[in-house]
């Protein structure tokens, strides 16, 4: 490095350091380190171990993160590589709780932002590496939903296979003790669902939004059902059909590339939807449950598994990032376009409105937090292969998205529920009496995963 370049680095560091130090004063206790592009490191508070290190990769990094103040700004800066997080990325989301107007006041906040804006403008921008989604047509129209789903899922089967379990189950796992491997916990979740549905040999089962077909093949193998799945992702259909053929289940399973709204088949005995509900949209909830009602025979049951908003402790707007999944610009543009998370009361009301009777409701919030920790660590362990398989930008987007999701599930800003609905048969009183070998809630005897279990997750 020449003397001139060293002098320029020192000058830029001198401009940014006072702003950075003022921002850090608001964080008590500060359990992380900060490393500048010069190599200078600001250690955590005395006696606090570093949970992670915030790495500013160039003089304009802090300005790129915080100006203009939004989750989109922070997310794009991370994906672009303006800054990095070394260590626990999930823990780094706690920063969003510290930068509030109460910490600085409007006037000082604007003054700090003005100073950062100067440094951001002085540094040339680099390409993000992934095109933001561009959707056309009416909100939640069939063609628009198709484009939104494909944007997320068609980044490549090989990419997802690097960090999902062998069945490619892309939804909340079930951890009876918290110490299970991801493989074991995902199989426990599939079993949990099948028992709730009271599957019997010969039942016709429809999976709305079947993904890569993990639940279909499990139910066909273990319970002898006739299973049909629908998805809007061609890459998922390709994977699922190959897996069905490999397992010799073609006579009991099939997967169709179609919108559930276009299904026109005789009623099914059981319906299930896992992780698709987030794509439906608030305005479409009555139509969604009405279609499920039409596809289900009288006396049949429908298990709807989906993410919802939670009351949580992350509701108050922050100064520079209200949290990725609450403000949602980053997620909407680069991860789940048109995704909508509604309070559980709204979906339960829509289901009741078409005639469904709620028979069971279970929150799996802690289980999803633990699932996401597994996914993040497995993805991080496959960094180089993920970047080659998809791209560095895709790797960084999914790592950020899943870490943020884990943080919000742990804090209660997000929740996930399994709701079991009955379509009443007017000639019967309800479900048949429960037999001992039918569904018994596992949480009656299982320990709910707790926060002290989360840091011990291994990338298995």
| Per-residue pLDDT tens over the stretch 283-310 | 999 999 999 999 999 999 999 999 998 8
Cβ neighbours for 186, distance < 8 A, ≥ 6 positions apart: 165, 167, 169, 173, 174, 214
C-alpha R_g of the chain: 24
Give CA–CA dist 274/171, Å, rounded.
7
Measure Cα distances from 171 to 302, 305, 370 in Å.
17, 9, 12
More confident site: 202 or 12: 202
For residues 421-432, average pLDDT: 81
pTM above 0.85, yes or no: yes
Handedness of CA 377, 381, 382, 387 (dihedral sign): positive
Stretch (H or E) spanning 371: helix 365-381
Can you tell me which residue has the tokens 């500013």? 56
pLDDT score at 12 = 78
Give CA–CA dist 4/248, Å, rounded.
69
Query: Pairing between strand 52-56 and 226-231?
Result: unpaired
Specify the length of the chain in residues: 460
Q: What is the pLDDT of residues 342-359, one digit of tens each?
A: 999 999 999 999 999 999
Q: Which of these, 25, 45, 44, lies nearest to 34 by C-alpha position?
A: 44
Give CA–CA dist 140/386, Å, rounded.
31
Would you place residue 444 in the very low, low, confident or very high pLDDT band (cuts 50, 70, 90)? Answer: very low
What angle, 0 to 180 degrees and rounded to 10, lies between the N-to-C axes of helices 365-381 and 392-411?
150
Local structure of 204: helix, strand or coil: strand
Q: What is the DSSP string of 220-235?
A: HHHH--EEEEEES-HH
Q: What is the DSSP string of 401-432?
A: HHHHHHHHHHHTSEEEEEEEEE---TTS-SSP
Q: Which of these, 363, 333, 335, 336, lies nearest to 348 by C-alpha position?
A: 363
pLDDT score at 445 = 39
Local structure of 300: helix, strand or coil: strand
Give CA–CA dist 69/26, Å, rounded.
17
Domains and CATH numbers, the chain: 3-122 (3.30.1050), 142-456 (3.40.50.150)
Q: What is the DSSP string of 244-275?
A: HHHTT-TTTEEEEES-GGG---SPEEEEEEES
Local structure of 446: helix, strand or coil: coil
**DSSP-assigned beta bridge partners for residue 271:** 206, 302
Would you place residue 327 in the very low, low, confident or very high pLDDT band (cuts 50, 70, 90)? Answer: low
109's tokens: 């906040």
pLDDT score at 5 = 61
Q: Contact, 188 vs 173, CB < 8 A?
A: yes
Least confident of 72-81, 107-116, 216-225, 287-296: 107-116
Q: Contact, 191 vs 221, CB < 8 A?
A: no
Would you place residue 319 in the very low, low, confident or very high pLDDT band (cuts 50, 70, 90)? Answer: very low
Measure Cα distances from 190 to 2, 89, 186, 187 in Å.
61, 29, 6, 5
4's tokens: 């001139």
Least confident of 217-221, 376-380, 430-434: 430-434
Phi and psi at 438, nearest 5°, equal -95, -165
Count CA atoms within 13 Å of residue 318 on its CB side: 23
């Amino acid at each position: 490095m020449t003397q001139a370049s060293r002098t320029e680095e020192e000058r830029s560091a001198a401009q940014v350091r006072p702003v950075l130090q003022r921002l850090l004063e608001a964080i008590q206790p500060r359990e992380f380190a900060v490393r500048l592009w010069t190599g200078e490191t600001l250690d955590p508070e005395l006696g606090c171990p570093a949970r992670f290190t915030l790495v500013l990769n160039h003089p304009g990094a802090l300005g790129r993160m915080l100006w203009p103040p939004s989750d989109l700004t922070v997310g794009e800066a991370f994906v672009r590589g303006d800054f990095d997080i070394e260590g626990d990325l999930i823990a780094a989301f706690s920063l969003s709780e510290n930068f509030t107007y109460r910490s600085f006041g409007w006037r000082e906040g604007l003054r700090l932002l003005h100073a950062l804006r100067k440094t951001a403008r002085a540094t040339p921008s680099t390409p993000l590496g992934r095109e933001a989604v561009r959707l056309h047509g009416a909100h939640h129209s069939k063609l628009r939903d198709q484009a939104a789903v494909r944007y997320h899922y068609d980044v490549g089967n090989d990419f997802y296979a690097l960090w999902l379990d062998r069945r490619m189950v892309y939804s909340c796992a079930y951890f009876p003790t918290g110490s299970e491997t991801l493989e074991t916990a995902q199989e426990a979740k599939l079993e949990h669902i099948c028992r709730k549905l009271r599957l019997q040999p010969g039942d016709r089962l429809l999976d709305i939004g079947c993904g890569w077909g993990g639940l279909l093949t499990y139910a066909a193998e273990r319970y002898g059902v006739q299973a049909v799945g629908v998805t809007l992702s061609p890459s998922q259909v390709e994977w699922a059909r190959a897996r069905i053929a490999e397992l010799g289940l073609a006579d009991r399973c099939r997967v169709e590339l179609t919108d559930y709204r276009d299904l026109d088949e005789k009623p099914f005995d059981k319906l299930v939807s896992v992780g698709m509900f987030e794509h439906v949209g608030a305005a479409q909830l009555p139509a969604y449950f009405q279609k499920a009602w039409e596809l289900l025979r009288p006396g049949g049951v429908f298990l709807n598994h989906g993410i919802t908003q939670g009351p949580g402790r992350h509701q108050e707007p922050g100064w520079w990032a209200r949290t990725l999944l609450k403000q949602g610009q980053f997620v909407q543009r680069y991860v789940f376009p048109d995704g909508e998370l509604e309070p559980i009361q709204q979906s339960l009301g829509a289901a009741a409105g078409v005639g469904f009777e709620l028979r069971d409701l279970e929150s799996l919030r802690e289980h999803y937090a633990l699932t996401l920790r597994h996914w993040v660590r497995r993805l991080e362990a496959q960094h180089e292969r993920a970047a080659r398989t998809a791209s560095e930008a895709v790797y960084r987007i999914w790592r950020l998205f899943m870490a943020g999701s884990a943080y919000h599930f742990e804090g209660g800003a997000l929740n996930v529920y399994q709701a079991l609905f009955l379509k009443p048969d007017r000639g019967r009183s309800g479900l048949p009496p429960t037999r001992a070998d039918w569904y018994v809630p596992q949480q009656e005897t299982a320990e709910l995963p707790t926060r002290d279990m989360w840091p011990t997750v291994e990338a298995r």
